């Protein structure tokens, strides 16, 4: 029997639909998530199946509809709310940072906030400085929020199902470049086998996408795809790169990171978020704390320099890590 293939966007929508069928407390709200199916396809088909009482198109008022989701979650519902671009978080900063993240703590554990805030991240398609950021490091810095960043259709479905069932607030970041959208640059890894039945992927379990012995590449999301392409090129030159997809940043699988570095003795972090004060620095701090004596070379990171994402395609390509730049960074690390 042939494997059933889904794009990442369809895998996300299927996970949501199955959880809505299983649990009547699950509902979805956000901009253009109904008849339009979300501009990145994450809610496609849900309105037809569940109707406007459970799939709610909202006005362009991020503070309003994210605040409504927080309130519904505290009353026992399980809302999934879509923030169209993560770049728009500023319009709802108080609801996310001070309410969604902290109500459980400030109520002494008496009030849960079981909700999913999903949002689109990433560039490489000339959408400029206000529609191309990743920013997951910013939210991972705030206690109280679980951070999920899938890279494949299989992971997208399993992690979304887990997120909906979790009793904590979860931010679920999907990259436009891994959604399998026809208007994006073609990405063969954005379509893969996804089981029909519901399944979960536990948070805090990284996935070794490719085993290797000469260096470890730590990354998430679209950069997993580019790192795998880079690893293939490195293999042609006799270098063996281990590529680890972290999948979740909070909780973070420190054990898999450290064990890989102890095996390969070199580490490169590839990140589409900004260089300073973000994921790349946190990961290298973990390596320094727990695996420093195993390193044969100083750890390196390749990330977006501290500049807004340019609109110009050549300039955008210059700041976001590419396959060739990952290859060059890995070779320099091994040869150092």
Task: Label each residue of the chain as H, E or C.
Answer: CCCCEEEHHHHHHHHHHHHHHHCCCEEEEECCCCCCCCCCCCCCCHHHHHCCCCEEECCCCHHHHHHHHHHHHHCCCEEEEEEEEHHHHHHHHHHHHHHHCCHHHHCCCCCCCCCEEEEEECCCCCCCCCCCCCCHHHHHCCCCCEEECCCCHHHHHHHHHHHHHCCCCEEEEEEHHHCCCCCCCCCHHHEEECCCCCCCCCCCCCEEEECCCCEEEEECCHHHHHHHHHHHHHHHCCCCEEEEECCEEECCCHHHHHHHHHHHCCEEEEEEEECCCCHHHHHHHHHHHHHHHHCCCCCEEEEECCCCCCCCHHHHHHHCCCHHHHHHHHHHHHHC
Write the pLDDT tens digit of every residue in 242-283. Answer: 999 999 999 999 999 999 999 999 999 999 999 999 999 999
What is the Rg, in whole angstroms, of the alpha carbon atoms belonging to the chain? Answer: 20
131 annotated active-site: yes
Looking at the DSSP bridge assignments, the partners of residue 287 are none
Confidence of residue 336 (pLDDT cuts 50, 70, 90): confident
Write the pLDDT tens digit of every residue in 303-321. Answer: 999 999 999 999 999 999 9
pLDDT of residue 24: 98
Which residue in the list 104, 131, 175, 225 is annotated as catalytic? 131
| Chain centre to alpha carbon of residue 260 | 21
Give the pTM: 0.97
Counted residue by residue, the chain has a size of 336
pLDDT of residue 1 exceeding 80? no
Looking at the DSSP bridge assignments, the partners of residue 45 are none
| Average pLDDT score over the chain | 97
pLDDT of residue 184: 83
% of the chain with per-residue pLDDT over 70: 99
Write the pLDDT tens digit of every residue in 88-134. Answer: 999 999 999 999 999 999 999 999 999 999 999 999 999 999 999 99
pLDDT of residue 185 exceeding 90? no
pLDDT of residue 2: 65
- Distance, in Å, from the CA atom of 96 to the CA atom of 297, rounded to the nearest integer, reads 40
Q: Provide mean pLDDT across the span 173-189.
A: 91
Q: Provide mean pLDDT across the span 1-8.
A: 84
Q: Which two tokens stand for residue 56?
A: 């709610």
Torsion of CA 143, 145, 149, 153, to 10 degrees: 160
- Distance, in Å, from the CA atom of 228 to the CA atom of 224, rounded to the nearest integer, reads 6
Provide φ and ψ at 39, rounded to 5°. Answer: -70, -15
């Amino acid at each position: 029997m042939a494997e059933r293939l889904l794009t990442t966007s369809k895998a996300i929508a299927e996970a949501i639909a199955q959880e809505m069928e299983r649990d009547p407390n699950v509902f979805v709200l956000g901009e253009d998530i109904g008849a339009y199916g979300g501009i990145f396809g994450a809610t496609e088909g849900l309105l037809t199946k569940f109707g406007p009482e459970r799939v709610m198109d909202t006005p362009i008022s991020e503070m309003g509809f994210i605040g409504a989701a927080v309130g519904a979650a505290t009353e026992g519902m399980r809302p999934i709310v879509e923030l169209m671009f993560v770049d728009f978080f500023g319009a709802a900063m108080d609801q996310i940072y001070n309410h969604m993240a902290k109500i459980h703590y400030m109520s002494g554990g008496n009030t849960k906030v079981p909700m999913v805030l999903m949002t689109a991240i990433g560039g490489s398609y000339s959408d400029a400085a206000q529609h191309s950021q990743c920013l997951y490091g910013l939210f991972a810095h705030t206690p109280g929020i679980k951070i999920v960043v899938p890279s494949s259709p299989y992971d997208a479905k399993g992690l979304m199902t887990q997120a909906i069932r979790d009793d904590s607030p979860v931010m679920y970041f999907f990259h436009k470049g891994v959604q399998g959208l026809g208007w994006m640059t073609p990405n063969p890894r954005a379509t893969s086998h996804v089981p029909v039945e519901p399944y979960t992927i536990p948070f805090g379990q990284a996935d070794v996408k490719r085993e290797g012995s000469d260096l470890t590449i730590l990354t998430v999301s679209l950069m997993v795809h580019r790192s795998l392409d880079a690893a293939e090129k490195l293999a042609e030159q006799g270098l063996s790169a281990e590529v680890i997809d972290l999948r979740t940043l909070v909780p973070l699988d420190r054990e898999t990171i450290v064990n890989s570095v102890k095996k390969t003795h070199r580490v490169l972090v590839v990140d589409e978020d900004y260089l300073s004060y973000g994921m790349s620095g946190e990961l290298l701090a973990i390596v320094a704390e727990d695996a420093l004596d195993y390193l044969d070379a100083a750890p390196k990171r390749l990330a977006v320099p501290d500049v807004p994402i340019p609109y110009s395609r050549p300039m955008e390509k210059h700041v976001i890590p590419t396959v060739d730049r990952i290859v060059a960074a890995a070779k320099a690390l091994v040869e150092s």
